[in-house]
Amino acid sequence: MRTKKLVGRTVLVMSLVLLGGLCVPQRCVAQEADPDPHGATIGSGSVTAPSVWANVNVPVHQRIDLKLYGFYIGDLDVPSAQVDVPVRAMKFLTITPSYLYYSVPASGLDELANVSGAFTDSYDEHQFRIDGTVGFAVGGFRIAGRNMYVRRFRPAPAEDSNRYRGRIGIAHPLLVSGHLWRPFASYEAYYDRGNGGWNKDRVWTGVTVPLNKHVSFEPSYLWERSDGLKDINYVLFGLIVNTK
């Protein structure tokens, strides 16, 4: 069946914070694969995806928060939902168990694999994750390193798998017209055990702008490279609501 042969990795989105990512249908489309009938190489090129997301932060304890996310990746038509429970274990360490669900339609898979009409079904994935983030300040800069373990539950014929995500980020608050803006940048690498190894990179930059005491706006840009898929240029617009 052609759909089983032309499978690729897809990614979402997030968080920051974020975004969780889209992932693979069954196995990677080989970069040395033959061109499709239209003369386009499988997985070559790039796609721009204007995307929106919203985050609601709810404190449930002095050291525990509940974070609810909703994402929509434009152009690829991918909805996603995520729940995080950050636990501040120590001054410099936060442990966060989380859950992510996303769905990629057949048209989105075709776009990422660069092969028109190759997929007939959507791809849905559930992920349970846990990460540890160490953060500290140096000369006004906030530096954070995150290590995440992901258990991916994937539909047949794909097999469930394990993933590691390592991210390093830096931010520096700036006072603008009496408001504290927070520009940031980060780099993240993915490792899929038994499914391509180090197969994905992300570079992300943006700024968090407070609108009032409880609401912030976050425009950002994220570039993503995945083996066997088109590069993705995410143009992101986020809304953050803090209920505290």
- Give pLDDT tens digits along the chain (244 positions): 333 333 333 333 333 333 333 333 333 333 333 444 455 677 788 999 999 999 999 999 889 999 999 999 998 999 999 999 999 999 899 999 999 999 999 999 999 998 888 888 999 999 999 999 999 999 889 999 999 999 999 998 888 999 999 999 999 999 988 889 999 999 999 999 877 799 999 999 999 999 998 999 999 999 999 998 999 999 999 999 999 8
pLDDT at 51: 96
Could you tell me the end-to-end alpha-carbon distance of the chain, in angstroms, rounded to an integer? 52
Write the single-letter amino acid at 145: G
Domains of the chain: 2-242 (2.40.160)
Q: Say how far apart CA 85 and CA 79 lie, in whole Å.
A: 21
The 10s digit of each residue's pLDDT in 192-232 is: 987 779 999 999 999 999 999 899 999 999 999 999 899 99
pTM of the model: 0.81
CA nearest 121: which of 111, 109, 136?
109
The two tokens of residue 48 are 């721009």
- Our measurement of the distance from residue 156's CA atom to the centroid of its chain's CA atoms, rounded to an integer in Å, reads 23
Residues whose CB is less than 8 angstroms from the CB of residue 26 and which lie 6 or more positions away in sequence, other chains included? 4, 7, 157, 158
Strands 231-242 and 46-59: parallel
3 state DSSP class of 111? helix
pLDDT at 40: 60
